[in-house]
Structures are given as structure tokens and as C-alpha cells.
Amino acid sequence: MSLEMIPATPADGAELTEIFYAAFVGDFNRTMFPHTPDVTAWWEQNFHDTIKRSIATETNEVILKVVDSDQGAIVAFAKWKCPTSADRDRHEHLDMLAVHPSHQGRGLASKLLKWGLARADEEGVEVYLSSSPEGKPVYEKYGFRALESFSPFPEYVQY
């Protein structure tokens, strides 16, 4: 299996949306973002527009994808918000990281996370993120610690 991490393109919106829905199956995400035609279309358009805008204007948002070349499919992605020189509170923010369940446990989350951590080291800035309980072990492995937590639903804790 050959896995390649590359920038996402506007045409990836539908595939990124399917990865999102496959990876985030808990009550919190299903309540906030039900898998309905309208919400699915919104996610597809949101990914498309974010990527298109980042290419056209070099915004601080970066969406990386991991492609399984054997399948010819996207199997993971991360959405990073990177600081600009104009940002008062300069930090990297991991907005979203999703790995398709069929590829979880293969180091793809680490690969996508390391990209942002290396960039933050180069910039000399901190990294912030929110996590589900399932993601907590991955982030703690890289030195993250909870600054605050809350539970919008009993089984969900944000780190």
C-alpha cells in the first residue's frame, strides 16, 4: 500500500465529506452535523470553497489529504489554520483531522499531525486543537495536554 500526503484540491470536497462522516460517528457529530442531503451538500461546498480560497488568496487554511494510491482514494485528511504575520495571537490550530475507519491505526493521524507540528516549530508557535476521546491518545503521544475540557454530551469530552 502506497500512501501519499498532498494538498487537497477543490474537486476533493465530496470525498473529504465522506471521510468526515465515516470518521466522526459519535452522537455529538451526528447531532451537530446530521448526515442529511442538505448538510452533506454544505460540507462538500465548504471544503470546496475553503480549498479554492486558500489556493487563490493564499489564506492561512491548509487542507492536506492522504491518498491510498492502490485504491485511488482519499483515506485521511487534516485541516490546519496556520498563523499569518498579521495574527495577534500566533498559533497553529488543527481544526479537523479525520481518518477513514478502514485505515485507522496505520499512523495516518500521526503523519498529518507531524506536518503541522513541524510547521509550528519552524514558526516558533504553539499548536491548539480540540479532540474527541478517541483522538486523545494520539495527541497525548505528541505531548498535548488538556487545557480545558467540557462535555456537550455525556460521552463526549473536548480536550
Task: Tell me which of 3.40.50.300, 3.30.365.10, 3.40.630.30, 3.30.70.1880 is the CATH number of domain 3-141.
Answer: 3.40.630.30
Taking each helix axis from N to C end, the angle separating 13-23 and 37-57, rounded to the nearest 10 degrees, works out to 120
Q: Please give the Cα distance from 77 to 99 (Å, whole number).
A: 7
Q: Write down the pTM of the prediction.
A: 0.87
What are the extents of the domains in the chain? 3-141
Mean pLDDT is lowest, of 74-83, 96-105, 112-121, 150-159, for: 150-159
Q: pLDDT tens-digit profile of 24-82? A: 887 777 788 889 999 999 999 999 999 998 888 766 889 999 999 999 999 999 999 87
Q: Which residue has the cell 488538556?
A: 146
